[in-house]
Structure 1
Amino acid sequence: MSEPFVPFSASHLLMLLTLVVFSILLYAFRFPLRTRPKLKRFLRYALAALLAVSQAVLDAWNIAEGAWSAAYTLPLELCSITLLLSVVMLLTRSRVLYGILFFTGIGGALQALVTPNLAFGYPHIRFFQFLVAHMLIILASLYMTWIEIYRPTWRSVGLAMIFLNAAAVVVGTLDYLLGANYMFLMHKPSTPSLLDYLGPHPFYLLVEEGIALLIFVLMHLVCFVLPEKRAKMGKSRGQSAM
Structure 2
Amino acid sequence: MESLYSFNQSAYPFELFSLSHMSMILVTIILLVLLYFLRDRATRKTKTYIKYTLIAALIGGEVFFHGWYLANNRWDIIYNLPLQLSSISIYLCTFMLVTKNYRVFEISFFISMTSALIAIITPELFFGAPHLRFFQFFIVHIAIVLACFYMVWFEGYKATATSVIRAFLVLNFIVGCVFIINHLTGANYMFLSRKPNNATVIDLLGPYPWYILALEAIALSSFILLYLALFKRKTKRGD
Q: What's the TM-score, normalizing by structure 2?
A: 0.91
Q: Which residue of 1 aligns with 2:17?
A: 8
Q: Secondary structure at the match of 2:123?
A: coil
Q: Which residue of 2 aligns with 1:66?
A: 73
Specify the structure having the higher radius of gyration (Cα): 1
Return the match for 2:100 from 82, 93, 97.
Answer: 93
Deviations 1:107-148 (A, max 9, x none): 100101111101111111111111111100000001001111
Return the match for 1:215 from 222, 233, 236.
Answer: 222
Return the match for 2:138 from 113, 128, 131.
Answer: 131
Return the match for 2:28 from 19, 22, 25.
Answer: 19
Letter of the structure 2 residue corresponding to residue 56 of structure 1: V
Q: Per-residue deviation at 1:53?
A: 0.4
Return the match for 2:209 from 189, 202, 212.
Answer: 202
Q: Which residue of 2 aligns with 1:49?
A: 56
Deviations 1:22-46 (A, max 9, x none): 111111111122xx33332232122
Q: Per-residue deviation at 1:186?
A: 0.4
Residues in 2 aligned to 1:39 and 1:92: alpha-carbon distance in whole angstroms: 18
Pairwise CA RMSD of aligned residues? Answer: 1.3
Q: Which residue of 1 aligns with 2:7?
A: none
Q: Secondary structure at the match of 2:193?
A: coil
Residues in 2 aligned to 1:131 and 1:114: alpha-carbon distance in whole angstroms: 10
Return the match for 1:83 from 82, 90, 114.
Answer: 90
Q: Which residue of 2 aligns with 1:233?
A: none
Residues in 1 aligned to 2:47 and 2:138: alpha-carbon distance in whole angstroms: 24
Return the match for 1:185 from 182, 185, 192.
Answer: 192
- Structure showing the higher helix proportion among its residues: 1
Q: Secondary structure at the match of 1:121?
A: coil
Structure 1 segments unaligned to the other structure (5+ residues): 230-242
Letter of the structure 2 residue corresponding to residue 45 of structure 1: Y
Between the two proteins, the alignment pairs up a number of residues equal to 226
Residues in 1 aligned to 2:140 and 2:35: alpha-carbon distance in whole angstroms: 17
Residues in 2 aligned to 1:174 and 1:168: alpha-carbon distance in whole angstroms: 10
Q: Which residue of 2 aligns with 1:163?
A: 170
Q: Per-residue deviation at 1:192?
A: 0.6
Q: Per-residue deviation at 1:51?
A: 0.5
The answer to whether the 8 Å contact 2:57/2:139 transfers is no
Letter of the structure 1 residue corresponding to residue 65 of structure 2: L
Q: Per-residue deviation at 1:184?
A: 0.3
Structure 2 segments unaligned to the other structure (5+ residues): 4-10
The answer to whether the 8 Å contact 2:109/2:148 transfers is yes
* Amino-acid identity (%): 40
Letter of the structure 2 residue corresponding to residue 6 of structure 1: E
Q: Per-residue deviation at 1:191?
A: 0.5
1:103-114 correspondence runs (5 A): 103-114=110-121
